[in-house]
Each structure stands twice: as structure tokens, then as C-alpha cells.
């Protein structure tokens, strides 16, 4: 029933290969698998292991460190396909961090750190699935983080709190973003922030990291945590990149990552449309398929058109990004995320409406797609913050915050 990503953009030979390989792996995980993971709120370990065993978590790791050395143009295909295959946003989110959290190490890590971790990430032996940025008092306003890392005798001692940190249960390392200079003393609010790798098991065993799973809905299979650091000790070697420049290092690569989020929304939207169309063709009310009614057809068609528009923007920016610097596609990346999330939500909402009462029955899946599509308008950045970016950086309007 559920289809895969529609072919309205021309793919390169390498992208075709990625799509075929991913499609092949995803075909082993059917709707029932994802339905059950969602119902039980259980991380899709089997699916992630399969991808890791085939080296897909190392898609962005350079070949010199044992990875596939591919780029954004390939990751967008991979993630769109995963979501469209039936896994939805939850399936893409289950591995998103595992792919992207190694990027700061690739771009900014010491040679020692790269050699120590990247081959193991590429092999699927080590997972760096979690990034800890958000705090109770610092969500959209991320430079207001209060977690501190203080250097003491060759170690960094970390104290503070994080919230909404995904996949800590599926990760060996947590990439923590902390202040090494207080905001008040930093030359700019974006300075004095650094990134550290924390060995999660070691920290838990030492009693310096405690965590609580946050009861939530949306993508049920992927868990998010509240974390507390209490004199957590990270070796100085685990500092990623340059001390004090962590915020810039985090931003470097963000545009590419945003395009991949857009691709995950596209896949979810395509999945929802296909599910809605299948049902609209089958369900007979007043002696005819409900899909004959324009009230059912038009919302699906409109969402489809919106998805295709978002897809053109996502794919054209993704092919440009590997040729230019990520910063050059900042506007397109932000707009693609905005449009793809809105289109995915419209698609899921239309699919729910087409299902009538069954739209809220778990066994028809569309209520899950709607929950997940709603989430894409909030994470990893809210739609409002994306529009702030466009207003300020594209339209030249005054900064509003
Ligand atoms: C399921 C889930 C998983 C997550 N995973 C991670 C993770 O792995 N790692 C991590 O670090 N974080 C993670 N997050 C956190 C996520 O990045 C934040 O929730 C998000 O950035 C918004 O921050 P906030 O929730 O504090 O909202 P706030 O910053 O409190 O904003 C609340 C509302 O006000 C709006 N708003 C605020 N300021 C403005 C403004 N100036 N102009 C217009 N509107 C404004 C926002 O858009 C939003 O709608 C996750 C969140 C969720 C829900």
C-alpha cells in the first residue's frame, strides 16, 4: 500500500543507488512494524541496526575514516525514502542524530578524536545519536544556555541541565553544548560556547549524569530526555573543535541538516497522501468511492502540489550545497524546511479527513502521521524562528528579538 518517494526530480546515478539500497532495507519493515513501535513507544532498534550494519550511519563520514563520504544530495534521498517507506518522521528521527552528530567531529574535531571515533561510527559500532543543546530556559534562544564547563586539571567539569534531548537511550556518546565563558563575560552572546563529547555509560556509572524520559506524544518511538549534570567530568581531549567557538561550529553544517529535515517532511507527506488516496479509492459511501468527491480530492491534491513545490526547492538546494558552501543556501534551506513541514501537515490532515472516523483509529496509521507532521512544525527549529530568519536575512527587516 504505502508507496515510496515520488520521482518528480531527476536523480543522479549515485542518488538512484542510494534510493534503491534504502528502499531495499526499508521493505523489510512494514506498516505493522512501525505501528507496533509507535503503539509500544519502543525505539526501532532492529531497523537502526540494519542501517548501521550496512554502513548508512557513516554516509557523511569521509572515506579516509571508513565512511561513505557522500553529501547532502544523497542524505536527502535517503531520509525522504525512509520516511516515505512507511516509517514516517519517527523512522527518520531514529537515525537523524546518528548521522549528523558526527559532522562537527568531521569538520572541527582533532585528528585524535576523528581517528578514535569516526571509523567506529562508520562501522556502526559507536553511536553518537544525541546532541544536548536545549535547556529549560534556553530553547529558541539557544545562546542563553546556562550549563557550564569549567577546565580543571586536564578535564572539563560540567554542571547544568538539558531538556528534550533525543535518543539518549540509543547513544554511546552525547554531544553537549555548554558555556566555557558566561554570557555576561563573553565578547558576543554567540561566543564562549563549546562542545564536548560525553561517554553516557561512564557518566551514569559515576553518578554525574542522571536522566528522565519525558512522557510525550508525537513520534512515540523516539524518546526524549531531561538530563542533569552534576560535576560530570569530560577529558580535555573530548572537547570538539575550538574552545569558545562551539556555537559557530554547530551552525556550520546546519543549513545542510535543515534540508535533510525538509526531506524527512517530504517523505512523511508523500506517505500520508498515498495512504489517503488508497483509502479514498476504496471506501464507498452513497454508492461511490469517496475519492469522487472534490471535498476529499482537493485537499489531497493541494497538499500534493505543495509537497512538490517544497521538493523542488529542497532538491535544488541540496545539489547546490555540495558545490558551494552551506551558508550560500541558508535562505533556501530555511524556506524548504518551512514549506515541507507545512505541506506534510496539510497532507496528513487531508489523509485523516479522508478516513472519516477511521482517521483517528491507530490501525489506519494516519493519526500517527498527523502527530508526527505536527511535530515537524516545532523541531528542530520552530516555524516562527525560520520565518524570523527569512524576515531578517532575506527580506532585510529589523531583527525582532
Ligand atoms: C520531540 C522533541 C525532540 C527534541 N530533540 C532535541 C534534541 O535532541 N536536542 C536538543 O538540543 N533539543 C531538542 N529538542 C528541543 C527543540 O529544539 C526545542 O523545543 C525548540 O527549539 C523550541 O524551543 P522551546 O521548546 O524552548 O520553545 P520556546 O523557545 O519556548 O518557544 C515557544 C514558542 O514561542 C515562539 N517564539 C519564541 N521566540 C519567538 C520570536 N522571537 N519570534 C517568534 N516566535 C517566537 C516559538 O516559535 C514557539 O512557538 C526537541 C524537542 C522536541 C519536542
**Domains annotated on the chain, with CATH:** 13-110+115-123 (1.10.540.10), 130-245 (2.40.110.10), 250-394 (1.20.140.10)
Q: pTM score, two decimals?
A: 0.97
Q: Is 382 close to ligand 1, i.e. is its CB under 6 Å away?
A: yes
Rounded to a whole number, what is the distance in angstroms from the first to the last CA of the chain? Answer: 46
| Arithmetic mean of pLDDT over the chain | 96
* CA–CA–CA angle 58, 71, 255 (5° rounding): 110
Summarised one tens digit per residue, pLDDT across range 250-277 is 999 899 999 999 999 999 999 999 999 9
- What ligand 1 atom has the least distance to the C-alpha of 224? 3
Per-residue pLDDT reduced to its tens digit, 82-139:
999 999 999 999 999 999 999 999 999 999 999 999 999 999 999 999 999 999 999 9
Write the residue with the smallest CA distance to atom 19 of ligand 1. 139
pLDDT of residue 350: 98
Cα 196–Cα 219–Cα 389 angle in degrees, nearest 5: 60
Residue 3's pLDDT is 55
Phi-psi region of 244 (alpha: psi -120 to 50; beta: other; left: phi over 0): left
Q: Is 183 within 8 Å of 147 (Cβ atoms)?
A: no
Which atom belonging to ligand 1 lies closest to the Cα atom of 216?
Answer: 1
Question: Which protein residue has the closest C-alpha to ligand 1 atom 17?
Answer: 380
Backbone angles phi, psi at 107, to 5 degrees: -85, -30
Strands 130-132, 173-179: pairing is parallel
CA distances from 155 to 110, 171, 172, 235 (A): 16, 22, 19, 4
Q: What is the pLDDT of residue 344?
A: 98
Q: How far is CA 71 from CA 77, 103, 253, in A?
A: 11, 11, 11
Substitution site in 175, 219, 380, 388 for ligand 1 pocket (most atoms within 8 Å of beta carbon): 380
pLDDT recorded at residue 87: 98
Element (H, E) at 270: helix 254-282
Helix (H) or strand (E) holding 179: strand 173-179
Of 151, 238, 134, 131, nearest in space to 192 by CA: 151
Write down the pLDDT at residue 2: 44
Q: Which residues of the chain register pLDDT less than 70?
A: 1-6, 326-327
pLDDT of residue 213: 98
Name, in order, each residue with C-beta under 8 angstroms of 361's C-beta and a sequence gap of 6 or more: 355, 367
- Up-side HSE of residue 161: CA atoms within 13 Å toward CB? 8
Please state at what angle helix 294-321 crosses helix 254-282, rounded to 10 degrees: 160
Amino acid at each position: 500500500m504505502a508507496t515510496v518517494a515520488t520521482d518528480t526530480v531527476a536523480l543522479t546515478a549515485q542518488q538512484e543507488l542510494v534510493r534503491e539500497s534504502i528502499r531495499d532495507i526499508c521493505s523489510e519493515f512494514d506498516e505493522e512494524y512501525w505501528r507496533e513501535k509507535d503503539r509500544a513507544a519502543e525505539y526501532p532498534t532492529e531497523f537502526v541496526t540494519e542501517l548501521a550494519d550496512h554502513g548508512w550511519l557513516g554516509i557523511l563520514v569521509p572515506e579516509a575514516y571508513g565512511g561513505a563520504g557522500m553529501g547532502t544530495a544523497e542524505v536527502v534521498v535517503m531520509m525522504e525514502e525512509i520516511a516515505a517507506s512507511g516509517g514516517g518522521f519517527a523512522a527518520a528521527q531514529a537515525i537523524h542524530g546518528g548521522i549528523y552528530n558526527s559532522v562537527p567531529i568531521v569538520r572541527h574535531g582533532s585528528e585524535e578524536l576523528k581517528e578514535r571515533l569516526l571509523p567506529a561510527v562508520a562501522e556502526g559500532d559507536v553511536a553518537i545519536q544525541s546532541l544536548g543543546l536545549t535547556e529549560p530556559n534556553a530553547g529558541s534562544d539557544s545562546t542563553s544556555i546556562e550549563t557550564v564547563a569549567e577546565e580543571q586539571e586536564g578535564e572539563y567539569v560540567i554542571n547544568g541541565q538539558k531538556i528534550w534531548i533525543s535518543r539518549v537511550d540509543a547513544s554511546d556518546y552525547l554531544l553537549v553544548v555548554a558555556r566555557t565563558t558566561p554570557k555576561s563575560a563573553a565578547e558576543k552572546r554567540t561566543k564562549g560556547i563549546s562542545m564536548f563529547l560525553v561517554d553516557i555509560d561512564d557518566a551514569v556509572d559515576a553518578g554525574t549524569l542522571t536522566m528522565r524520559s519525558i512522557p510525550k506524544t508525537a513520534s512515540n518511538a523516539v524518546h526524549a530526555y531531561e538530563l542533569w549534570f552534576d560535576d560530570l567530568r569530560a577529558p580535555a581531549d573530548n572537547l570538539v573543535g575550538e574552545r569558545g567557538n562551539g556555537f559557530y561550529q554547530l551552525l556550520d553544517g546546519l543549513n545542510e541538516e535543515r534540508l535533510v529535515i525538509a526531506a524527512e517532511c517530504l517523505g512523511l507527506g508523500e506517505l500520508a497522501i498515498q495512504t489517503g488516496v488508497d483509502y479514498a479509492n476504496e471506501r464507498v459511501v452513497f454508492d461511490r468511492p469517496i475519492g469522487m468527491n472534490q471535498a476529499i480530492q482537493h485537499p489531497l491534491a493541494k497538499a500534493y502540489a505543495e509537497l512538490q513545490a517544497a521538493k523542488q526547492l529542497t532538491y535544488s538546494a541540496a545539489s547546490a550545497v555540495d558545490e558551494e558552501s552551506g551558508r550560500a543556501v541558508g535562505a533556501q534551506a530555511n524556506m524548504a524546511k518551512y514549506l515541507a513541514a507545512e505541506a506534510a501537515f496539510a497532507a496528513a490532515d487531508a489523509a485523516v479527513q479522508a478516513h472519516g472516523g477511521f482517521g483517528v483509529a491507530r490501525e489506519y496509521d494516519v493519526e500517527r502521521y498527523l502527530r508526527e507532521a505536527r511535530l515537524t512544525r516545532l523541531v528542530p527549529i520552530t516555524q516562527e524562528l525560520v520565518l524570523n530568519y527569512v524576515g531578517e536575512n532575506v527580506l532585510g527587516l529589523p531583527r525582532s528579538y
